[in-house]
Structure 1
Amino acid sequence: MQYRRNRHLQRLAGILEIPQDIVLDLPRITMLGNKQLLLENHKGIIEYTPSLVRIKLEQGELIICGKELTLGNLQVEQILVEGTVEEVKYDT
């Protein structure tokens, strides 16, 4: 049922020329090398240490591993992770 709903929303987004991340409530991840990661459309921080950041998403979580990780630009639906990003995992 969920798959069918998502297919309809994808088609609607294409017809209306709306980005799918908005219609399907998907996260948008933007990286600047391995120094910055900007995550939009998150649901909150699960865990934060200087070597690990876990962020809740609509479906699952994003796990960021690295060195000297810091959180900056915290907003309602946007997080900036800075430091040396070594690994990014999307866990559903």
Structure 2
Amino acid sequence: MMRKWSAHLKKWFAEVSDIPEDVMLGVPRLTLIGQFRLSIENYQSVLSFSKTELKLALNEGELHITGNDFVLETILEKEIVLQGRVTGVRFENE
């Protein structure tokens, strides 16, 4: 109950302030340019990576990205940029 109330309070605060909602709530922000470049912000860690799949740990759950010819262009503390043909994006909640 308290966790749900806290999430509502954070969402409200993000709406009335200039702080972006994704930053306030700690949720990932995905920016897909065509099918060939994907930027993901606010991830926790890389769980696995191959030429056809990227799995990231999130604050709540995991993010699974599938495709072909993947290359990690950039890996920063809170942002990762993936190049290659993206064919699927799926959230797995714990």
| Structures share fold, TM-score greater than 0.5 | yes
TM-score (norm: length of structure 2): 0.93
Whichever residue aligns with residue 68 of structure 2, its letter is K
Structure 1 gap ranges (5+): none
Could you tell me which residue of structure 2 aligns to residue 50 of structure 1?
Answer: 51
Could you tell me which residue of structure 1 aligns to residue 15 of structure 2?
Answer: 14
Could you tell me which residue of structure 2 aligns to residue 82 of structure 1?
Answer: 83
Stretches of 4+ moved more than 2 A in 1?
A: none
**C-alpha separation in 1, matches of 2:73 and 2:45:** 14
Q: 1:17 Cα deviation (Å)?
A: 2.8
Structure 2 gap ranges (5+): none
Q: 1:76 Cα deviation (Å)?
A: 0.7
The percentage of counterpart residues that share the same residue type is: 26
RMSD: 0.8
**C-alpha separation in 2, matches of 1:81 and 1:61:** 16
- Which of 11-20 and 75-84 deviates more? 11-20
Q: 1:18 Cα deviation (Å)?
A: 1.7
TM-score (norm: length of structure 1): 0.95
Whichever residue aligns with residue 26 of structure 2, its letter is D
Q: 1:21 Cα deviation (Å)?
A: 0.7
